[in-house]
Amino acid sequence: MDFKSLALEYKTPLYIYDFEHIKEQFESVKEAFYARKSLICYAVKANSNLSVLRYLGKLGAGCDCVSVGEIKRALIAGISKYKIIFSGVGKEDSEIAYALRQNILMLNVESEEELKRIETIAQYMKIKARISVRVNPNVDAKTHPHISTGLKKNKFGVDVDTAKRLYIYVKDSEWLEPVGIHCHIGSQILDIEPYKEATKITAELLKSLKALDIDLKFFDVGGGIGIRYKDETPIKLYDFAQAVLANLGECDVTVVCEPGRFLVGNSGYLLTKVLYEKKNGNKRFVVVDAAMNDLIRPGFYNAYHEIEAVDKEGQKVSKADVVGAICESSDFLGKNVLLPKLNHGDLLIVKSVGAYGFSMSSNYNTRPRCAEVAFIGNKYRIIRRRETFEDLIECETECLVRGNV
């Protein structure tokens, strides 16, 4: 990629996504499940840009959404409503009603309380709600504690016994229809064993429900497939698919999976400009124009992203912390990064930021969020313009005009 031209044309900081890479990743998941009916529901939270959704939709993807906002994005991007799933532990009444009205594929239920609420709303709307229960298999995904979701101590899903009880309730309800079963144990998973364990538990429940005449059509194994940021060895998709299929045996179900990071993570670059180099004692800092509001993963999870200087190959390097302008010590993009001597205006690229990069960005310190560009068919296209100061204060100025103060 020609990062210098990109910086000139679109300014920095800037997110750039290689759409060809997204396509390759999507096709590799599809291929892993070729022997089965399958549906890949991209986890919108990873990167919710409408162009990303539209592109994946054209490849055949559905969407896993966790808010009405995400469902609306998926619909606007042209995703078929029959390929949209609604997950999340805290669905509001209005969100449930919206999902029912849109007639999406299914709602992944995370508690008994939520199930009863859905039933009440469905009855009021005279719509039968298609239900999938999220099973919490109490399996350790062996990932960062902030992104582990399949343990009893996590807030997600219900245990196997509760799930079974809920399915029996759903079967007998006039306003609920059991269609799927769901399990998602965490993110950035690099070990196949937790997947094997979790799918075994979920598949056993699926089979025991069949024995009760509860015949589910969708077996949703969630997302979580890890990627390489530094030197990790991702699991092989073949092994992942085998872990699922071996447990399913002859069960006639459509396998659903909800990858987010795997599809978009390695496609993304954050291009940033050097503002200053500074030293505090012996400690070297490179201050750049991107900050934790643009990419929070390093400060939030201590996540590693490779950082490289543009057009500085072969120069002598030394360690530096790459930091932003925000008033927090957690505002860093990388620590002890080997970098050459840098001057004002030099460019750095932060790699593998396509997932949970822009989608977790914020306006902290009243910093407008940056632009996003797609690299597609050897061309660059802007897919989100840079925010302006006016964008940031718009909701507040409305209040001022109304004379609220």
Ligand X SMILES: Cc1ncc(COP(=O)(O)O)c(C=O)c1O
Residues 152-191 that bind ligand X (CB under 6 A): 184, 187-188
Residues 30-89 that bind ligand X (CB under 6 A): 43, 46, 64, 87
Q: Give least dist CB 109 to ligand X, A.
A: 12
Q: Give least dist CB 185 to ligand X, A.
A: 10
Task: For residue 133, list its beta bridge partners.
Answer: 109, 181
Q: Does 196 bind ligand X (CB under 6 A)?
A: no
Residues involved in catalysis: 327
Q: Does 260 bind ligand X (CB under 6 A)?
A: yes
State CA 264 to chain mean position distance.
9
Number of residues that bind ligand X (CB under 6 A): 17
Q: Give least dist CB 84 to ligand X, A.
A: 13
Q: Please, which residue, 109 or 309, has the CB nearer to ligand X? A: 109
- Which residue's structure tokens are 């350790």? 140
CB of 263 closer than 8 Å to CB of 30: no
Single out the segment in contact with ligand X by CB under 6 A; choices: 6-14, 47-55, 222-230, 396-404: 222-230
- Which residue's structure tokens are 């949209």? 84
Q: Give least dist CB 301 to ligand X, A.
A: 12
CA distances from 300 to 12, 108, 330, 359 (A): 22, 27, 8, 14
For residues 206 and 40, what is the distance between their CA atoms, to the nearest angstrom? 20
Which pairing describes strands 283-288 and 268-280: parallel, antiparallel, or unpaired?
A: antiparallel
Q: Give least dist CB 75 to ligand X, A.
A: 19
For residues 143 and 191, what is the distance between their CA atoms, to the nearest angstrom? 9
**Residue from the set 57, 224, 324, 334 that interacts with ligand X by CB under 6 A:** 224
CA distances from 253 to 66, 75, 104 (A): 23, 25, 18
3-state helix, strand, coil in the chain (%, to 5): 35, 25, 40
CB of 279 closer than 8 Å to CB of 285: yes
User: Could you tell me which residues come within 8 angstroms of residue 117 by beta carbon, excluding any fewer than 6 positions away?
Assistant: 91, 93, 96
Q: Does 222 bind ligand X (CB under 6 A)?
A: yes
State CA 373 to chain mean position distance.
18
Mapped onto helix, strand or coil, the DSSP state of residue 213 is: coil
Q: Give least dist CB 234 to ligand X, A.
A: 12
For residues 199 and 130, what is the distance between their CA atoms, to the nearest angstrom? 22
Q: Please, which residue, 87 or 293, has the CB nearer to ligand X? A: 87
**Residue from the set 95, 114, 258, 346 that interacts with ligand X by CB under 6 A:** 258
- Among residues 41, 295, 302, the alpha carbon closest in space to that of 146 is found at 302
**Interaction mask 300-339, ligand X, x per CB under 6 A:** ----------------------------------------
Q: Give least dist CB 25 to ligand X, A.
A: 11
Single out the segment in contact with ligand X by CB under 6 A; choices: 55-63, 256-264, 340-348, 362-370: 256-264
For residues 155 and 153, what is the distance between their CA atoms, to the nearest angstrom? 7
Q: Does 354 bind ligand X (CB under 6 A)?
A: no
Q: Does 261 bind ligand X (CB under 6 A)?
A: yes
CB atoms closer than 10 angstroms to residue 174: 9
Q: Please, which residue, 180 or 259, has the CB nearer to ligand X? A: 259
Q: What is the binding site for ligand X (CB under 6 A)?
A: 43, 46, 64, 87, 184, 187-188, 222-225, 258-262, 355
